[in-house]
Structures are given as structure tokens and as C-alpha cells.
């Protein structure tokens, strides 16, 4: 199909940055229920009003209130519980390690960039799917293993792999320039014609500052509707959207420019994805507030002549993984665009991770890039490294993480834009470990409704034991360290057992603490499952072989 916006001619407004700085603190009409405090799946109570307004960027790291004031008792029924922060930890002598992903030897695995596009495992067909940007539309690729890709030729634009072509309705033969697409497989959508959602940021013809934001639907990810809504205000380039399944709502991250902090993000949420485009002045949306920016801890350009450039937040993607939201922050390190053009080099972006337990506040304790730039000649990821929408797929005991880059030709100039793959242990963003002597970790009080304790741990050179404590810190018999079967293996899914007890069923609903004793090993996650298979009831990013949809639900797993 040819996508047009004839029916959605927007008002013209100049200077999005000036507009947003004037309205970013404005709270639009809020529903009555939005005035009430909301308690999340993990016990975090959202403040009123929500979303919070912390003001414009200051260059300081984002405050994370739930780390300073965690719930008295933390429910852990949703997802594997990761140790990326101290939210779950009351006391420990173990050391936290953040782990680097390894680059796949076949990189780049796809000869087109996704920016931000979408990369999902579609469980309905058992296929990896990729939607990627071309200058005037969206291309499509598929894979059986997530490594080897092909580009089918759908019946949309003859002879091409395009599934969407963005034409100018007033000047035949001309096209709108696609800037960013966010494609989502919505497993919770009841209307089959809206199962696939595409948020599209595009450039208005003949005006380099006019970006608009649209939403399209599809039943198959190939044949897309005309825009159902289009923004009536300007947005910045790289504006996109994601879904927060913990709160069952959609979030737009709106790019704008603020003072010396440069590229920043504003936040808008709604349960109706059509209202993220601000298409109607009567839409009962929440508030548009300042949200994300780079800060003083972000990595600077390694070259001395550019090292003084203040980092900016160039791009942002987010997706639910197990019990939290993963954030991928594409940090721009310079030089400015005009300098890049003059030197014939790409802008330098690298991707660092953030973690959120309320969907708004992101803790970023590790600023070592997950996806970095490589300035060697012939490197495919010389610069402009960015994340891919979706892009976090569970494949067995590993996570497949996808990202984009601009290559460096052997002669020193720029080469093509492509997509690469990084591989990480499942839950492997961070671990708590002991290198020699036995150490321990005691959780805060937690509550669960399941009965089987599981861990993700590497104890192949050491050992792990667990005991359960009551509210007074006393061991609950028979769940003692001495009765615990010793774990001496390297497994991403390992059940913990005690002599004298079949499971933890009698402790369900009661506040308890877990104390882990670890020697010569790494502990990545723990969770209590109602099922002996170890299903976590959490989220698995953009899906993966063995899962129906994007959740690891009881009795829902299937053989890969």
C-alpha cells in the first residue's frame, strides 16, 4: 500500500523545542482514577500526581525514589528477580558485577539498519521478524534462527521487501522521509486487525524541522492501515513508543531539545495507543513531563579533540524483561552534525543500559556501553550505534540483543548501515558473587503465592545454599542452610530443594526473607514459581522460541 496523510493534515507549528519547553510542565485533563495512587506489581506505590515532574535536565543522574524508599514487603510473583540494583537486598557481603555481552562472530547479521524498527520472535509463526527503515518506507526481513536473515518480497511494493511506502499525496513520485519506526507485536490486543502496531516518525516534505508522529495497524505485519491518527503538534526526530505490560499502557518518548543538555526526552502515557499522538485536543491524556537525558556520568568521546563535548540522549528504546523495564540509552558523544559532515565521519553513539521498576525512573549504575563503537578500519560498528526496538529475545539460556551501526571502510571512509547481534547469558546483566570465601545475601521481606524456589546461578566451581527467615530473622524449619541441597552447577534455571519439605507452599502469602550463601560463584536471579517447570510469570522481552507471546507464564511454555 501507499501510505498517505491526506486525511490528517496537521496544523503547522514552528520551534518544537520552544513549544515543548512551554507545555512540558502542563498537566492536561486527567481521569478521576488517575488522581488515585497506584500500587504496582512489586509493591511500589506511585506518587500523585503521576507521572512525576522532576523539572528540566540538570546534568545529574535521575533520582530513583523506590531505591531510597522500597516497599516494606516486596511481592515477587511477577518475573525473575534480578540483582541490577539494591531494591531486593537488605544485607550482603557479595560483590555485584555487571557483565558485557559478547559480539556474535557473524556480525553484522543483517545488511540494513533498523533505527529503531522492530525485531521480534513471532510465536504464532515460529519466526524471527525484523522491520527496518528505508528512506521512504519500512522494509521487512525474516529468520529461522535470529542469525541468518532473508528478505521476502511481499505483495506491497512490487519487486521489493517494502511493507510500507510513505508517499506524498500532493506530489506524485515524491516521498516523505521516514525517520524512526517502532513496530510492536501486541499479544494482548483483542482485535486481530490491530495485532501489529507501527508508530512512525516522519519528515514533512521540504522542511527539515517538521517531524510528525503517526500510528498504523496491521493483522499480519505486512499489510498496514492508513494512519489512524497523526500528531497535531511537531515532535522531534527519533520520537518513538513502547508498551509497559506491567501497567497495561503505552508510552511515547518525545524527543526535544533543552539548553546545553541538547537532545532530551519527554514522557506521555496512555492506555489507548492512539492518544500518544496528541491527535485530539480533547484526548484525556495524562501529563507531558520532562523525562530522560544524558548526565555527567555518561561516556564522553575518547578522542581528545571531542572529549569536552557534553553527551546527549540521542535515542531511547525500552522493553519489559522479567520483573523490570530495560532501557537502552543511545548516548551521543559528538561531534556535532556539521562537523561530522565536514570530516566525513559518523556521529558517535554508544548504548548503555538502564533498569526501571516503576516504568518511569531508570537507574543506570553501569555506564560501560553494552553496545559500543569500534573505530578500527573495516569495523561495521564504527559509529552511530543505536538500539533496535524490541531487540531483546530469549533463545534458550541466552539473550539475543540487537543493535545498529555505521561501518568504516578499509579506505577510512564511511560504509553501510547494518544490524548486529550481541549475546548475553539469560538474566546476565548483573550478578552477585563471591570469589573465594563464602559470602551471603539476605533479601528484604518478600511475599509470594508460588511454591518452588528457583535460581539462575553459576556455581560450577563452588556452591550455593539457601535458607528462609521469618520476620524476626529466625530460620523457618526445615528451610535451613543445613537442610538445603547444595547446588554445584551452572544453570539458568535450577530448583532449590530442602530435606524435610516438598516445597514452599505453606509459606505462601507470608512475609519472609531469603538468605543465599555463596562460595566461588555468581548469583544472577531468583524467583518463586507456582509451577515445577520454573515458569516465572514475567516477561521475555520480544519473545523467543519456547514461549507463547512475550510472557513466561505457567503451563504456557512450549518446546523450542
Q: Quote the radius of gyration of the chain (alpha carbons, Å).
A: 24
- Confirm if 359 and 246 have CB atoms less than 8 A apart: yes
The residue with cell 507549528 is 13
State whether residue 513 is helix, strand or coil.
strand
Q: What is the pLDDT of residue 175?
A: 59
Cα dihedral value 272, 274, 279, 284, nearest 10: 0
- Annotate 126-152 with DSSP letters as a single string: TEEEEEEEETTEEEEEEESSSSSEE--
Domain range list for the chain: 74-97+431-540, 100-425
Distance set, CA 27 to CA 242, 269, 285, 434 (Å): 21, 12, 9, 48
Q: CA–CA separation, 199 vs 274, rounded Å?
A: 10
Q: What is the pLDDT of residue 556?
A: 45
**What is the H or E stretch that residue 20 is in?**
helix 16-23
Distance set, CA 203 to CA 132, 137, 235, 315, 393 (Å): 17, 12, 10, 17, 31
Cite the DSSP H helix spans in 297-393: 337-343
The reply to whether 74-97+431-540 and 100-425 are identical in fold is no
Distance set, CA 103 to CA 108, 143, 374, 416 (Å): 10, 19, 12, 19
Strand partners, 541: 393
Three cell numbers, residue 246: 506491567
- Residues with Cβ within 8 Å of residue 24, at least 6 apart in sequence: 56, 256, 266, 288, 289, 290
Structural fold of domain 100-425: Tachylectin-2; Chain A (2.115.10)
pLDDT (tens place) for every residue of the chain, 560 residues total: 444 333 333 333 333 344 343 333 333 333 444 457 899 999 999 999 999 999 999 999 999 999 999 999 999 999 999 999 999 999 999 999 999 999 999 999 999 887 778 999 999 999 999 999 887 789 999 999 999 999 999 999 889 999 988 765 555 555 567 778 899 999 999 999 999 999 988 876 655 567 788 899 999 999 999 888 888 667 888 899 999 999 999 999 998 888 766 899 999 999 999 988 764 333 334 478 999 999 999 999 999 999 999 999 999 999 999 999 999 999 999 999 899 888 888 889 999 999 999 999 999 999 999 999 998 888 999 989 999 999 999 999 999 999 999 988 766 666 788 999 999 999 999 999 998 899 999 999 999 999 999 999 999 999 999 999 999 999 999 999 999 999 999 999 999 999 999 999 999 999 999 999 999 999 999 999 999 999 999 999 999 999 988 999 854 444 44
CATH architecture of the domain 74-97+431-540 equals Sandwich (2.60)
Q: Say how many C-beta atoms besides its own lie within 10 A of residue 462's C-beta.
A: 20
Cα dihedral value 517, 518, 522, 525, nearest 10: -10
77: left (phi over 0), alpha (psi -120 to 50) or beta: alpha
**Kind of pairing, strands 463-469 and 446-447?**
unpaired
- Confirm if 546 and 535 have CB atoms less than 8 A apart: no
Q: What is the pTM of this model?
A: 0.90
- Residues with Cβ within 8 Å of residue 552, at least 6 apart in sequence: 79, 322, 535, 536, 537, 538, 539, 540
The residue with cell 506505590 is 45
Q: CA–CA separation, 132 vs 390, rounded Å?
A: 12
Q: CA–CA separation, 253 vs 317, rounded Å?
A: 9
Q: Say how many C-beta atoms besides its own lie within 10 A of residue 223's C-beta.
A: 16
Q: CA–CA separation, 264 vs 238, rounded Å?
A: 11
Side-by-side strand order, sheet with 463-469 = 89-92, 439-443, 513-519, 463-469
Counted residue by residue, the chain has a size of: 560
Q: CA–CA separation, 352 vs 138, rounded Å?
A: 26
Distance set, CA 398 to CA 419, 422, 450, 541 (Å): 19, 10, 25, 12
**Kind of pairing, strands 521-529 and 452-458?**
antiparallel
- Confirm if 455 and 526 have CB atoms less than 8 A apart: yes
- Confirm if 398 and 425 have CB atoms less than 8 A apart: yes
522-545 as b/e, with b when 16 or more CB fall inside 10 Å? bbbbbbbbbbebbbbbbbbbbbbb
Amino acid at each position: 500500500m501507499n501510505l498517505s496523510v491526506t486525511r490528517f493534515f496537521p496544523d503547522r507549528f514552528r520551534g518544537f523545542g520552544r513549544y515543548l519547553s512551554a507545555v512540558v510542565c502542563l498537566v492536561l485533563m486527567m481521569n478521576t482514577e488517575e488522581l488515585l495512587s497506584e500500587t504496582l506489581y512489586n509493591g511500589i506505590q506511585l506518587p500523585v500526581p503521576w507521572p512525576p515532574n522532576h523539572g528540566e535536565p540538570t546534568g545529574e543522574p535521575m533520582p530513583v525514589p523506590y531505591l531510597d524508599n522500597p516497599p516494606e514487603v516486596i511481592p515477587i510473583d511477577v518475573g525473575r528477580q534480578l540483582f541490577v540494583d539494591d531494591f531486593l537486598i537488605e544485607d550482603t557481603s557479595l560483590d555485584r558485577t555487571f557483565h558485557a555481552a559478547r559480539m556474535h562472530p557473524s556480525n553484522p547479521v543483517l545488511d540494513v539498519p533498523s533505527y529503531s524498527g522492530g525485531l521480534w520472535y513471532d510465536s504464532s509463526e515460529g519466526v524471527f521478524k525484523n522491520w527496518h527503515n528505508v528512506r521512504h518506507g519500512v522494509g521487512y526481513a525474516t529468520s529461522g534462527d535470529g542469525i541468518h536473515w532473508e528478505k521476502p518480497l511481499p505483495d506491497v511494493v512490487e519487486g521489493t521487501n517494502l511493507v510500507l511506502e510513505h508517499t506524498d499525496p500532493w506530489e506524485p513520485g515524491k516521498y516523505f522521509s521516514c525517520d524512526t519506526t517502532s513496530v510492536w507485536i501486541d499479544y494482548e490486543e483483542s482485535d486481530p486487525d490491530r495485532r501489529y502496531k507501527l508508530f512512525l516518525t516522519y519528515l514533512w516534505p521540504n522542511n527539515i524541522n517538521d517531524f510528525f508522529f503517526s500510528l498504523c495497524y496491521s493483522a499480519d505485519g505486512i499489510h498496514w492501515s492508513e494512519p489512524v491518527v497523526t500528531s497535531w503538534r511537531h515532535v522531534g526526530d527519533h520520537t518513538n513508543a513502547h508498551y509497559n505490560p506491567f501497567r497495561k499502557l503505552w508510552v511515547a518518548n518525545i524527543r526535544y531539545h533543552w539548553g546545553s543538555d541538547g537532545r532530551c526526552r519527554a514522557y506521555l502515557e496512555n492506555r489507548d495507543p492512539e492518544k500518544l499522538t496528541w491527535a485530539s485536543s480533547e484526548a484525556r491524556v495524562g501529563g507531558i513531563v520532562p523525562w530522560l537525558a544524558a548526565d555527567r556520568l555518561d561516556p564522553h568521546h575518547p578522542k581528545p579533540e571531542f572529549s569536552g563535548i557534553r553527551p546527549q540522549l540521542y535515542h531511547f528504546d525500552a522493553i519489559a524483561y522479567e520483573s523490570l523495564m530495560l532501557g537502552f540509552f543511545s548516548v551521543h558523544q559528538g561531534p556535532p552534525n556539521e562537523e561530522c559532515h565536514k570530516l566525513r565521519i559518523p556521529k558517535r553513539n554508544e548504548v548503555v543500559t538502564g533498569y526501571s521498576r516503576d516504568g518511569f525512573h531508570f537507574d543506570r549504575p553501569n555506564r560501560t556501553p553494552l553496545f559500543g563503537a569500534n573505530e578500527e578500519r573495516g569495523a561495521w560498528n564504527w559509529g552511530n550505534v543505536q538500539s533496535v526496538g524490541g531487540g531483546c529475545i530469549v533463545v534458550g539460556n541466552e539473550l539475543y540483543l540487537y543493535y545498529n551501526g555505521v561501518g568504516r571502510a578499509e579506505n577510512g571512509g564511511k560504509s553501510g548501515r547494518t544490524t548486529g547481534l550481541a549475546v548475553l547469558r539469560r538474566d546476565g546483566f548483573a550478578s552477585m558473587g563471591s570469589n573465594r570465601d563464602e559470602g551471603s545475601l539476605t533479601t528484604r521481606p518478600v511475599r509470594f503465592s508460588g511454591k518452588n524456589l528457583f535460581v539462575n546461578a553459576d556455581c560450577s566451581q563452588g556452591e550455593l545454599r539457601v535458607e528462609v527467615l521469618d520476620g524476626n530473622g529466625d530460620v523457618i524449619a526445615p528451610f535451613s542452610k543445613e537442610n538445603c541441597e547444595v547446588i554445584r552447577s551452572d544453570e539458568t534455571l535450577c530448583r532449590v530443594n530442602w530435606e524435610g519439605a516438598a516445597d514452599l507452599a505453606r509459606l505462601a502469602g507470608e512475609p519472609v526473607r531469603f538468605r543465599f550463601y555463596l562460595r566461588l560463584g555468581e548469583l544472577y536471579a531468583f524467583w518463586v514459581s507456582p509451577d515445577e517447570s520454573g515458569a516465572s510469570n514475567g516477561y521475555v522481552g520480544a519473545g523467543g522460541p519456547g514461549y507463547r507471546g512475550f510472557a513466561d507464564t505457567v503451563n504456557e511454555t512450549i518446546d523450542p
